[in-house]
Amino acid sequence: MMDVMQNVNKDRDMGHSQADKARNRERILDEAARQIRETGLEALSVGKLMQKVNLTHGGFYGHFASRSDLIAQALERALLAGKAQAQAVRDPNKPRTFSAIVRSYLSRTHRDSRSTGCAISALVSDVGRADAQSREVMERHIEDFISAVSTALGDDDKGRAITAVSAMVGAIAMSRVLTDQKRSDAVLRAVRENIAAMKSDDAHANI
Protein backbone atom coordinates (compact mmCIF):
# COMPACT_ATOMS: atom_id res chain seq x y z
CA MET A 1 0.00 0.00 0.00
CA MET A 2 2.72 2.40 1.00
CA ASP A 3 4.79 1.21 -1.94
CA VAL A 4 1.99 1.92 -4.36
CA MET A 5 1.60 5.45 -3.01
CA GLN A 6 5.30 6.10 -3.33
CA ASN A 7 5.32 4.86 -6.89
CA VAL A 8 2.45 7.13 -7.77
CA ASN A 9 4.40 10.02 -6.34
CA LYS A 10 7.57 9.00 -8.12
CA ASP A 11 5.74 9.13 -11.43
CA ARG A 12 4.58 12.61 -10.69
CA ASP A 13 7.57 14.13 -8.91
CA MET A 14 10.17 12.77 -11.30
CA GLY A 15 12.83 13.44 -8.66
CA HIS A 16 14.36 16.71 -7.58
CA SER A 17 18.01 16.35 -8.59
CA GLN A 18 19.82 18.64 -10.99
CA ALA A 19 20.03 15.79 -13.49
CA ASP A 20 16.26 15.37 -13.20
CA LYS A 21 15.78 19.06 -13.85
CA ALA A 22 17.88 18.93 -17.00
CA ARG A 23 15.97 15.85 -18.14
CA ASN A 24 12.64 17.54 -17.47
CA ARG A 25 13.70 20.58 -19.45
CA GLU A 26 14.45 18.33 -22.40
CA ARG A 27 11.12 16.56 -22.07
CA ILE A 28 9.28 19.88 -21.98
CA LEU A 29 11.13 21.14 -25.05
CA ASP A 30 10.64 17.93 -27.01
CA GLU A 31 6.95 17.86 -26.24
CA ALA A 32 6.61 21.56 -27.13
CA ALA A 33 8.41 20.93 -30.42
CA ARG A 34 5.90 18.18 -31.18
CA GLN A 35 2.92 20.26 -30.19
CA ILE A 36 3.79 23.35 -32.23
CA ARG A 37 4.21 21.20 -35.32
CA GLU A 38 0.89 19.51 -34.60
CA THR A 39 -1.22 22.54 -33.67
CA GLY A 40 0.78 25.68 -34.49
CA LEU A 41 2.84 28.19 -32.54
CA GLU A 42 -0.09 30.02 -31.00
CA ALA A 43 -2.13 27.04 -29.84
CA LEU A 44 0.51 26.00 -27.31
CA SER A 45 -0.74 26.25 -23.72
CA VAL A 46 1.70 26.23 -20.81
CA GLY A 47 -0.70 24.36 -18.51
CA LYS A 48 -1.54 21.61 -20.99
CA LEU A 49 2.08 21.21 -22.01
CA MET A 50 3.23 20.69 -18.41
CA GLN A 51 0.37 18.26 -17.78
CA LYS A 52 1.51 16.26 -20.81
CA VAL A 53 4.97 15.76 -19.31
CA ASN A 54 3.50 14.95 -15.85
CA LEU A 55 4.50 18.17 -14.15
CA THR A 56 2.44 21.05 -12.74
CA HIS A 57 2.23 24.43 -14.46
CA GLY A 58 4.01 26.35 -11.68
CA GLY A 59 7.29 24.56 -12.30
CA PHE A 60 7.40 25.83 -15.87
CA TYR A 61 9.02 29.12 -14.85
CA GLY A 62 11.97 27.33 -13.30
CA HIS A 63 12.83 26.23 -16.85
CA PHE A 64 11.78 29.11 -19.10
CA ALA A 65 11.41 32.86 -18.70
CA SER A 66 8.02 32.98 -20.38
CA ARG A 67 5.72 31.24 -22.83
CA SER A 68 7.19 33.14 -25.76
CA ASP A 69 10.72 32.26 -24.65
CA LEU A 70 9.68 28.60 -24.71
CA ILE A 71 8.10 28.98 -28.15
CA ALA A 72 11.28 30.45 -29.61
CA GLN A 73 13.32 27.56 -28.25
CA ALA A 74 10.71 24.98 -29.23
CA LEU A 75 10.76 26.27 -32.81
CA GLU A 76 14.51 25.70 -33.03
CA ARG A 77 14.04 22.28 -31.46
CA ALA A 78 11.28 21.39 -33.92
CA LEU A 79 13.43 22.39 -36.88
CA LEU A 80 16.35 20.30 -35.60
CA ALA A 81 14.11 17.34 -34.76
CA GLY A 82 12.49 17.42 -38.19
CA LYS A 83 15.90 17.34 -39.83
CA ALA A 84 17.15 14.57 -37.53
CA GLN A 85 14.02 12.55 -38.24
CA ALA A 86 14.69 12.79 -41.97
CA GLN A 87 18.27 11.66 -41.54
CA ALA A 88 17.43 8.83 -39.14
CA VAL A 89 15.53 7.04 -41.88
CA ARG A 90 18.43 6.76 -44.31
CA ASP A 91 21.62 4.72 -44.30
CA PRO A 92 24.19 6.95 -42.55
CA ASN A 93 27.02 5.51 -44.64
CA LYS A 94 25.78 6.55 -48.03
CA PRO A 95 25.67 10.20 -49.04
CA ARG A 96 22.18 11.62 -49.45
CA THR A 97 21.35 11.70 -53.11
CA PHE A 98 18.93 14.23 -54.53
CA SER A 99 16.36 11.64 -55.42
CA ALA A 100 16.59 10.09 -51.95
CA ILE A 101 15.87 13.48 -50.39
CA VAL A 102 12.93 14.12 -52.69
CA ARG A 103 11.49 10.63 -52.25
CA SER A 104 11.52 10.74 -48.46
CA TYR A 105 10.41 14.36 -48.19
CA LEU A 106 7.46 13.86 -50.50
CA SER A 107 6.37 10.55 -48.99
CA ARG A 108 2.90 9.88 -47.62
CA THR A 109 4.59 8.96 -44.34
CA HIS A 110 6.04 12.43 -44.05
CA ARG A 111 2.74 14.06 -44.93
CA ASP A 112 0.98 11.98 -42.27
CA SER A 113 3.43 12.70 -39.44
CA ARG A 114 3.20 16.44 -39.02
CA SER A 115 4.25 16.38 -35.37
CA THR A 116 7.56 14.65 -36.09
CA GLY A 117 8.25 15.81 -39.66
CA CYS A 118 9.86 18.88 -41.16
CA ALA A 119 8.98 22.01 -39.20
CA ILE A 120 9.40 24.22 -42.25
CA SER A 121 6.41 22.78 -44.07
CA ALA A 122 4.46 22.43 -40.81
CA LEU A 123 4.94 26.08 -39.83
CA VAL A 124 5.87 28.23 -42.87
CA SER A 125 2.70 30.31 -42.88
CA ASP A 126 2.82 30.76 -39.11
CA VAL A 127 6.43 31.85 -38.98
CA GLY A 128 5.91 34.12 -41.98
CA ARG A 129 3.87 36.38 -39.71
CA ALA A 130 5.89 35.86 -36.52
CA ASP A 131 8.45 38.26 -35.03
CA ALA A 132 11.92 38.71 -36.51
CA GLN A 133 13.51 36.41 -33.94
CA SER A 134 11.37 33.42 -34.93
CA ARG A 135 11.75 34.21 -38.62
CA GLU A 136 15.53 34.21 -38.26
CA VAL A 137 15.47 30.84 -36.55
CA MET A 138 13.59 29.26 -39.45
CA GLU A 139 15.59 31.25 -41.99
CA ARG A 140 18.80 29.49 -40.97
CA HIS A 141 17.18 26.10 -41.44
CA ILE A 142 15.72 27.04 -44.82
CA GLU A 143 19.19 28.10 -45.96
CA ASP A 144 20.66 24.82 -44.67
CA PHE A 145 18.03 22.80 -46.47
CA ILE A 146 18.65 24.68 -49.71
CA SER A 147 22.40 24.17 -49.35
CA ALA A 148 22.00 20.43 -48.75
CA VAL A 149 19.79 20.09 -51.82
CA SER A 150 22.16 22.20 -53.90
CA THR A 151 25.08 19.97 -52.93
CA ALA A 152 23.08 16.86 -53.75
CA LEU A 153 22.32 18.37 -57.15
CA GLY A 154 25.97 19.19 -57.68
CA ASP A 155 25.14 22.78 -58.59
CA ASP A 156 27.24 25.89 -58.10
CA ASP A 157 24.22 28.12 -58.41
CA LYS A 158 21.43 27.66 -55.83
CA GLY A 159 18.56 28.46 -58.19
CA ARG A 160 17.50 24.90 -58.87
CA ALA A 161 17.80 23.92 -55.21
CA ILE A 162 15.63 26.88 -54.22
CA THR A 163 13.02 25.79 -56.73
CA ALA A 164 13.10 22.18 -55.55
CA VAL A 165 12.80 23.19 -51.89
CA SER A 166 9.93 25.58 -52.66
CA ALA A 167 8.08 22.84 -54.50
CA MET A 168 8.68 20.28 -51.74
CA VAL A 169 7.58 22.60 -48.94
CA GLY A 170 4.55 23.80 -50.89
CA ALA A 171 3.57 20.27 -51.86
CA ILE A 172 3.68 18.83 -48.33
CA ALA A 173 1.85 21.83 -46.89
CA MET A 174 -0.87 21.65 -49.55
CA SER A 175 -1.15 17.86 -49.37
CA ARG A 176 -2.12 18.29 -45.70
CA VAL A 177 -4.94 20.61 -46.66
CA LEU A 178 -6.50 18.24 -49.19
CA THR A 179 -9.19 16.04 -47.67
CA ASP A 180 -9.44 13.81 -50.72
CA GLN A 181 -6.65 11.29 -50.21
CA LYS A 182 -6.31 10.54 -53.90
CA ARG A 183 -5.76 14.19 -54.73
CA SER A 184 -3.37 14.55 -51.84
CA ASP A 185 -1.38 11.54 -53.00
CA ALA A 186 -1.46 12.90 -56.55
CA VAL A 187 0.18 16.16 -55.45
CA LEU A 188 3.03 14.30 -53.78
CA ARG A 189 3.48 12.02 -56.77
CA ALA A 190 3.38 14.79 -59.38
CA VAL A 191 5.97 16.93 -57.63
CA ARG A 192 8.15 13.90 -56.90
CA GLU A 193 8.20 12.89 -60.55
CA ASN A 194 8.61 16.36 -62.03
CA ILE A 195 11.36 17.27 -59.64
CA ALA A 196 13.24 14.00 -59.94
CA ALA A 197 13.88 14.98 -63.55
CA MET A 198 16.05 17.84 -62.33
CA LYS A 199 18.92 15.58 -61.47
CA SER A 200 18.68 12.92 -64.17
CA ASP A 201 19.53 15.30 -66.98
CA ASP A 202 22.98 16.48 -66.10
CA ALA A 203 22.94 19.17 -68.71
CA HIS A 204 21.30 22.09 -66.93
CA ALA A 205 18.28 22.03 -69.15
CA ASN A 206 14.92 23.38 -68.12
CA ILE A 207 14.62 22.77 -64.44
Binding site for DNA (CB under 7 A): 12-21, 24, 44-48, 50, 54-63, 66-68
Are the CB atoms for 120 and 141 separated by under 8 Å?
yes
12 binding partner (options its own copies, DNA, none; Cβ < 5 to 8 Å by kind)? DNA
Helices (H), 40-114: 46-52, 67-89, 98-105, 108-111
Q: Using CB under 8 A as the criterion, what x/- string covers residues 107-136 for binding its own copies?
A: -------x-----xxxxxxxxxx--x--xx
155 binding partner (options its own copies, DNA, none; Cβ < 5 to 8 Å by kind)? none
Q: How near is the Cβ of 24 to its own copies at its closest, in Å?
A: 27
Work out the burial of residue 157: count CB atoms within 10 Å of its CB; fewer than 13 is exposed, 13-18 middle, 19 or more buried.
exposed
Applying CB under 8 A, does 39 fall inside the site for its own copies? yes
154 binding partner (options its own copies, DNA, none; Cβ < 5 to 8 Å by kind)? none
Are the CB atoms for 143 and 92 separated by under 8 Å?
no
48 binding partner (options DNA, its own copies, none; Cβ < 5 to 8 Å by kind)? DNA
d(CA 87, CA 154): 19
